[in-house]
Amino acid sequence: MSEILLEVRNFQVTLDGSPIVSDLTFKVEEGEFLTILGPNGSGKTVLVKALLGLLPHSGDVIWHRKPRIGYLPQGLNQMLVRDLPLTVKDFYALKKLKRAEALSFLASVGLKDDVLNMRAGYLSGGEFQRMLVAWVLASRPNVLFLDEPTTAVDIAGGETIYSLLREAWRAQKLTVFNVTHDLSIVFAHSTHVLCLSRFGRRCYGAPREVLTPAVLSEIYGAEIKFYTH
């Protein structure tokens, strides 16, 4: 049986006087692939940022083992670095990684050697995201926070990213916190789901147990049809 890695108790985040996340309590075991699910505006990104210490919060966040955290933030795509003379090699040098190490991590996400000398801003959305996954994994984290990691990627590219992440999760025994509003991701990849809604409805547990049509309707505020196979 896995040990508890993170305990969150009576967690609350208030921004500009408005409660975004309130009175949230949950536990995460080592090795979980936890998806934080919810519609836009339900506080998924705010929760992740607050857990990472990027936003102020109240309540308890107890890490039972010191985490080495890797983070793939929302909205970091190739367009953000497009106007910088920054090659992929330069991007890896920001982490003081040597060429051979960078090549090995790039190979692990299916990118070839010649990507190293390409401008990061000129990679395709999928290539940039894979490059970023490898970059984050290069710090050898044991806890990975992913915030909508496939937003700027097409469906096939998104599947590739999740396959890579799932492979890394298995091989490196990571604990993953993954933010998405995509239900198919939850059923395909997650061991657990934490759902948030704008209306205060919460759920936590194994996806197939807790994500019933009734719960989904309460979370999304509308009738949701989803077929799992």
Partner 1 sequence: MTIQLLFSLITGIFIAGSAAYLGTLMLSKKMAVVAGPLGHLALPGAALALIYGFSISLGAFPFVVAGILLIWLLEIRTKLPMEALTAIVFAAGVATAFLFLPLDRAEAALVGDISKVGVDATVASVILCGLVLIVVHRCYPAIMLMSIHEDLAKTEGINVKLYNLIYLSAIAIIVALGVDLVGGLMTAALVAIPAAAARNISRTIVQYGFASGAIGVISAIIGILISNYSSLPAGPLVILTSSTIFLVTVPLAKP
Considering only residues 89 through 148, tell me which ones interact with partner 1, judged by CB under 8 A.
89-90, 93-96, 119, 139, 145
Choose between 93 and 210: whose C-beta lies nearer to partner 1: 93
Choose between 74 and 217: whose C-beta lies nearer to partner 1: 74
Considering only residues 151 through 190, tell me which ones interact with partner 1, judged by CB under 8 A.
none
| 72, 146 Cβ separation under 8 angstroms | yes
Quick one: which of 11, 33, 71, 105 contacts partner 1 (CB under 8 A)? 71
Query: Interface with partner 1 includes 17 (CB under 8 A)?
Result: no
Quick one: which of 76, 188, 215, 224 contacts partner 1 (CB under 8 A)? 76
Q: What's the rounded Cα separation, in Å, for the pair 215 and 194?
A: 12
Query: Interface with partner 1 includes 86 (CB under 8 A)?
Result: yes
Q: Report the 10 Å Cβ neighbour count for 13.
A: 21
CA 45 to chain centre: 10
- Distance in Å, CB of 89 to partner 1, minimum: 7
Choose between 165 and 219: whose C-beta lies nearer to partner 1: 165
Choose between 80 and 171: whose C-beta lies nearer to partner 1: 80
CA 91 to chain centre: 20
- Distance in Å, CB of 93 to partner 1, minimum: 7
Q: What's the rounded Cα separation, in Å, for the pair 120 and 137?
A: 17
| 143, 69 Cβ separation under 8 angstroms | yes
Give the residue carrying structure tokens 């920001």: 94
Query: Interface with partner 1 includes 206 (CB under 8 A)?
Result: no
- Distance in Å, CB of 201 to partner 1, minimum: 28
Considering only residues 48 through 67, tell me which ones interact with partner 1, judged by CB under 8 A.
49, 52-54
Q: What's the rounded Cα separation, in Å, for the pair 139 and 68?
A: 8
Query: Interface with partner 1 includes 28 (CB under 8 A)?
Result: no
Q: What's the rounded Cα separation, in Å, for the pair 175 and 4?
A: 11
Q: Report the 10 Å Cβ neighbour count for 108.
A: 17
Query: Interface with partner 1 includes 84 (CB under 8 A)?
Result: yes
Query: Interface with partner 1 includes 73 (CB under 8 A)?
Result: yes
> Among residues 119, 107, 144, 122, which one has the least CA distance to residue 30?
144
Token output for 158 = 């998104």
Positions that interact with partner 1 (CB under 8 A): 49, 52-54, 69-71, 73, 76, 80-81, 83-87, 89-90, 93-96, 119, 139, 145
